[in-house]
Amino acid sequence: MKGIIFFDGKFVPEEEAKVSVKTHAFNYGTGVFEGIRAFWNEKKEQLFVLALKEHFQRFENSCKILHIILPYSLEELSEIVLELLRKNELKQDVYIRPLAFSSSEKIGVKLTGLESSITIFVVPFGSYYPDEEKVRAIVSSWRRVSDNAIPARAKCCGAYVNSALAKSEALLAGFDEAIVLNEDGHVAEASAANIFIIRNGIAITPPVTANILEGITREIVISLLQNELSIEVQEREIDRTELYVAEEIFVTGTACNVSAIVEVNGIKIGDGKIGKITKSLRELYFGIVRGENEKYSFLLTPVY
């Protein structure tokens, strides 16, 4: 069933949301996007959007890096999303995709002097992995692009070719996910998710200067680890071999939520099952995003 899309300032049927093959963003990847989740609570009959303001703040930052001018305020964008969800009458878990892109029909590699457009669409969305508690990964042969090449802290459309190459390599080898190293050989992130390891009871994650996306779920998880589970968190470089000797590994992101990696390059992590910390974190996280934990209601925006 086709739905309603926000396209060039209007809510239109999906079949009317079209761009030309001459569009600059289609030819050169000159656009940015966000991934936002909304979670359905059957008991409350309510759809909750997670960290809506924070996602649009990052969206605004990405636009700034790519010289894209946003014609809407963060508050206006948030209201557009809520109205779009209502118009599509969605009552299940949803993925929300805002896109801002260079819409000029011009040949030439540049970012300045171009027209821009915004579209937002929503789709039903369940689990990112076949089993979020049992993800098998490999260390990719593809390196993470660096901030001085294509900045990872901006969700640039074209940059996700890097992620697609890494993820496809993993899938073709029979695995679920790729772990990508940066140019200096340290762990950066998964193909489209931030990564944490547990060593000696301490949670360790690469710093934002390690060519990673500044993940919003990552920030929520760091807070939960420290304040709810009393787990120390260190932001530092991670060597590749630390993955093999970690007690637990998990990845975080809008799409994957909090997912356990139980194997890397054929080596079992811990006992090859989801670890205690990861399991506790998942239970805590899903209670929050489904509106069952009033303490964290400030992270949620109800739709209906």
Active-site positions read: 155
Closest to 80 (Cα-Cα) out of 100, 63, 64, 65: 100
**SS3 of 120, please?**
strand
Q: How many helices (H) and strands (E) does the chain have?
A: 7, 17
**Element containing residue 198 per DSSP (H, E):** strand 194-199
CA distance 59 to 78: 12
**Residue 44 DSSP class:** T
Neighbours of 163 (CB within 10 A): 22
Token pair belonging to 17: 């949301």
Closest CA to 17 of 114, 121, 93: 121
